[in-house]
Amino acid sequence: MTLFRRGVVTLFLAVPMLALALVLALMPLPASAQAEPAGMLPSTVVIADRFPTDPDKITSSYTVVPQEEMQRRQLRTAGEVLKTVPGVSVQQSGGPGTQTSVFVRGSNSNHVLVLIDGITANDPSTPNGAPDFAHFLTENLDRIEIVRGPMSTMYGSQAIGGVINLVTKAGKGPMNGQAFTELGTRMWSNNGAYVRGSEGRFNYNLTFAGTFTPNDTPVPARFTPNGGFIDNDPYRNITLAARFGFEINDNTQFNWFGRFIDTKINYDQVGSEDPNANGYTQQFYTRGEIEGSYFNGRWKPVIGVNYSTVARHDLDYPSPQNLTPFTTDAWFNGRRLQVDFKNLVSITEQVEVIAGLDFDRQWAYSSTVGTFNPSTQAWGTMAQTGLYGQLRLNPFEGFNLNVGGRVDMNDTFGSVGTWRAGASYLWAPTDTKVKASYGTAFKAPSLFELYAPGQFCGGNRNIQPEYSTGYEVGVEQGIFDRKVKAGITYFFNTYWNLIQCPPPFTALQNVLHAQSEGFEMFVQISPVKWFDLYFDYTQTIARNVDGNVPLVRRPQDVFNIRAEVRPWENTLFGVGVLQVNSRYDINATTGALIQPSPYTLLRFTAQYDVIPAVQLFARAENALNRVYEEPEGFQAPYFQAFFGVKARF
């Protein structure tokens, strides 16, 4: 069956849900249920155009997960949030704290630009520059925004598959706060607290979050003989975050953001226990910015300075289970300094211009000692300056057109130009929105890919950027005053110049071409205030064009269903089902291409407000206790139940 036909068939999955919505819409509302529907649209979206924008005017595909939803669903990490976002695949190598990669619409994991309060979180010291989502906790985030598709025109390098932005909530009103603690049946504990508010022209937000878990071994049982050695792999995460704001005058605001993450984890090798392997990380992100609104809001400039540093230390000494570890002591440090100046100019109500300048300087350092190799050190740096502009037109009611271009000037490989055009039209009488966009994008080589030492797959200073083009076409339909909303989007992307290590495996080169295409579909039903139902389906076909083989770790079919019921004003129950079907991976033993078995994850959540200031909550993860590996060779967590309490003031 062709991709198009399978996508059309998928549309019919929405019919039973629409019928259910009609029935529920006629049901009486319990007098005690006063909560607002969970599926309300955000008032503005920032990530698509770098400035707050009316969702109806967005020409790209996006998802916004607000803090309220993360709290209701009891999602503790950014990886957990992204698992149920259309078009996104999350691969975690075991339990909490293990390497977590994110693939968007079939692109590579290093084709996603990740921001924390506008600060680039991609680590310059990792081999391919991909971010690790293992350590990003959600406590007191205002929202997580995800935009899918090529976005280099607005963001520069790495925004091939999309952009993900984690935003810290601003303080507002009298001092208020919250603290929570929870404990799982496998002794996994999560804790967090915040204090925020405002006083006069000053606002503040201080956050603490922590996680500790003994962690079951990620080594699948099939690799361990009866009576063989099995160890636990504890994980600890301490996160401190702050956001301060000060109104300099009625038109000018200063904001400062800071986030510190300290972690430690014991880890194992693929298919074998390694009790002496430990990984330590310390991450620090900070940003200061001044934003203004002048000439009656017609000119809104923002100037900001970012600095980030990520330090990693890996230790692995010989043990009976691993007599000769490949690397015994390794230090890595990636740093980044960024300056940005962006402007939103409203020429008329129908014509707006977004223009700006970005500067990005990154450094990476590594020092490794191994059993079979002497001490090796490497260092590299790279700078890039980008100029961009976008024209936003609203020539008549409901129609929006965006056209933009960008030039990035890199001190290593020269200049790269990208562009994007998108249009959307909202027909208000029927609440029908159609959208389409086309764009180009690129990813600069990582510092490792440029400067890594060694005779085996070493760096190549002549390597060039990776490139992509992509387009999408979609339609969204609202029914019954948006109590029911459905949509489907088709996307197609082409990637070339991808960096690989071909035979004779001596140096990295630009050799690979790939394509991805698919459908993203959703149905959202909020017929009454006490019930919400959400369904989405993503189909992704991603292939290596040169070898005519599928790309691994990109599930072809993913279903996500969740529902929430509020039978009483102070009570909430939730259920979620994630079904992952056909996908490809690399056999952990033979290296052959395989198709792992499908798996289904079932989770339940419940919360009860004892009094307005005190809440009891519980949840069950992997309630069916499915045994699966995602990715191949790493055992995913088993069933676990959590129980906790939350207090507010």
Report whether pLDDT(128) > 70.
yes
Band (pLDDT 50/70/90 cuts) for residue 383 is very high
Fill in the DSSP letter of residue 635.
B
- b/e per residue 30-61 (b: at least 16 CB within 10 A): eeebeeebbbeebeebbbbbbbebeeebbbbb
Range name among 100-104, 209-213, 316-320 with the lowest pLDDT average? 316-320
Amino acid at 539: Q
Architecture of the CATH domain 43-514: Beta Barrel (2.40)
422 alpha carbon, distance to own chain's centre:
23
Exposed, middle or buried: residue 346 (CB in 10 Å: 0-12, 13-18, 19+)? middle
- Sign of the torsion formed by the C-alpha atoms of 626, 627, 633 and 636: positive
Tens-digit pLDDT profile for residues 406-425: 999 999 999 999 999 999 99
SS (H, E, C) 71-139: HHHCCCEHHHHHCCCCCEEEEECCCCCCCEEEEECCCCHHHEEEEECCEECCCCCCCCCCCCHHHCECC
Report whether pLDDT(123) > 90.
yes
Q: Given this model, what pLDDT does residue 41 score?
A: 54
State how far the alpha carbon of 322 is from the alpha carbons of 268, 319, 390, 512, 583, in Å: 10, 5, 55, 35, 31
- b/e per residue 515-554 (b: at least 16 CB within 10 A): bbbbbbbbbbbbbbebbbbbbbbbbbbbbbeeeeebbbbb
Q: In percent, how much of the chain has pLDDT > 70? A: 93
Neighbours of 596 (CB within 10 A): 19
Residue with tokens 């984690």: 166
Q: Given this model, what pLDDT does residue 224 score?
A: 84
Report whether pLDDT(38) > 60.
no
Band (pLDDT 50/70/90 cuts) for residue 641 is very high
Contacts 24+ apart (CB under 8 A), 90-94: 90/133, 91/553, 91/630, 91/631, 92/134, 92/630, 92/634, 92/636, 93/218, 93/631, 93/634, 94/215, 94/217, 94/218, 94/233, 94/267, 94/268, 94/634, 94/635, 94/636, 94/637
Q: Given this model, what pLDDT does residue 597 score?
A: 92
- b/e per residue 490-499 (b: at least 16 CB within 10 A): bbbbbbbbbb
Q: Given this model, what pLDDT does residue 324 score?
A: 87
Q: Given this model, what pLDDT does residue 31 score?
A: 34
Band (pLDDT 50/70/90 cuts) for residue 1 is very low
Report whether pLDDT(229) > 90.
no
Q: Given this model, what pLDDT does residue 129 score?
A: 87
Report whether pLDDT(306) > 80.
yes
Q: Given this model, what pLDDT does residue 7 score?
A: 42
Range name among 12-21, 215-224, 311-320, 391-400 with the lowest pLDDT average? 12-21
Report whether pLDDT(110) > 90.
yes
Q: Tell me if 573 sits within 8 A of 605, measured CB to CB.
A: yes
Mean pLDDT computed over every residue of the chain = 90
Band (pLDDT 50/70/90 cuts) for residue 16 is very low
Report whether pLDDT(321) > 90.
no
pTM of the predicted protein model: 0.91
Range name among 19-33, 245-259, 434-448, 626-640 with the lowest pLDDT average? 19-33
3-state secondary structure of 260: strand
Amino acid at 167: V
3-state secondary structure of 439: strand
Cis bond before residue 502 (omega within 30° of 0)? no
Could you give the CA distance from residue 374 to residue 7 in angstroms, rounded to a whole number?
Answer: 54
Q: Given this model, what pLDDT does residue 465 score?
A: 95
State how far the alpha carbon of 139 is from the alpha carbons of 75, 208, 573, 611, in Å: 9, 8, 21, 22
Strands (E), 501-613: 509-528, 531-544, 549-550, 557-568, 571-580, 585-586, 593-594, 599-611
**549 vs 3 pLDDT, higher one:** 549
Could you give the CA distance from residue 67 to residue 73 in angstroms, rounded to a whole number?
Answer: 10
Tens-digit pLDDT profile for residues 337-377: 999 999 999 999 999 999 999 999 999 999 999 888 778 88
Number of DSSP helices (H) and strands (E) in the chain, helices first = 6, 32
Going by their DSSP bridges, the two strands 585-586 and 593-594 should be labelled as antiparallel
Mean pLDDT of 309-333: 92
Residue with tokens 């960096």: 499
Q: Given this model, what pLDDT does residue 630 score?
A: 86
Q: Tell me if 257 sits within 8 A of 119, measured CB to CB.
A: yes
- Report the candidate in 632, 561, 535, 576 with the shortest Cα–Cα distance to residue 271: 632
Phi, psi at residue 298, to the nearest 5°? -80, -20
The answer for residues whose C-beta is within 8 angstroms of residue 90's C-beta and 6 or more apart is: 79, 82, 83, 100, 101, 102, 103, 133
Q: DSSP of 538-551, one letter per residue?
A: EEEEEEETTTTEEP
Q: Tell me if 531 sits within 8 A of 38, measured CB to CB.
A: no
Q: Given this model, what pLDDT does residue 22 score?
A: 35
Fill in the DSSP letter of residue 224.
S
Mean pLDDT of 552-576: 96
Tens-digit pLDDT profile for residues 334-348: 999 999 999 999 999
- Report the candidate in 620, 613, 614, 619 with the shortest Cα–Cα distance to residue 645: 614
- Sign of the torsion formed by the C-alpha atoms of 144, 146, 151 and 157: positive
Tens-digit pLDDT profile for residues 514-561: 999 999 999 999 999 999 999 999 999 999 999 899 999 999 999 999
Q: Which two tokens stand for residue 384?
A: 């890039």
Q: Given this model, what pLDDT does residue 624 score?
A: 96
The CA-based diameter of the chain, rounded to the nearest angstrom, is 75
Fill in the DSSP letter of residue 630.
S
Q: Tell me if 632 sits within 8 A of 585, measured CB to CB.
A: yes
Report whether pLDDT(290) > 90.
yes
266 alpha carbon, distance to own chain's centre:
24
Fill in the DSSP letter of residue 457.
S
Report whether pLDDT(269) > 90.
no
Mean pLDDT of 103-123: 95
Q: Tell me if 603 sits within 8 A of 621, measured CB to CB.
A: yes
SS (H, E, C) 316-374: ECCECCECCCCEEEEEEEEEEEEEEEEEEEECCCCEEEEEEEEEEEEEEEEEEEECCCC
Going by their DSSP bridges, the two strands 162-168 and 112-116 should be labelled as parallel
**229 vs 298 pLDDT, higher one:** 298
The answer for residues whose C-beta is within 8 angstroms of residue 102's C-beta and 6 or more apart is: 79, 82, 88, 89, 90, 91, 109, 112, 131, 133, 164
Residue with tokens 């399978």: 6
Band (pLDDT 50/70/90 cuts) for residue 506 is confident
Q: Given this model, what pLDDT does residue 42 score?
A: 66
Return the domain boundaries, the chain. Answer: 43-514
Rounded (5°) CA angle 327-332-333: 180
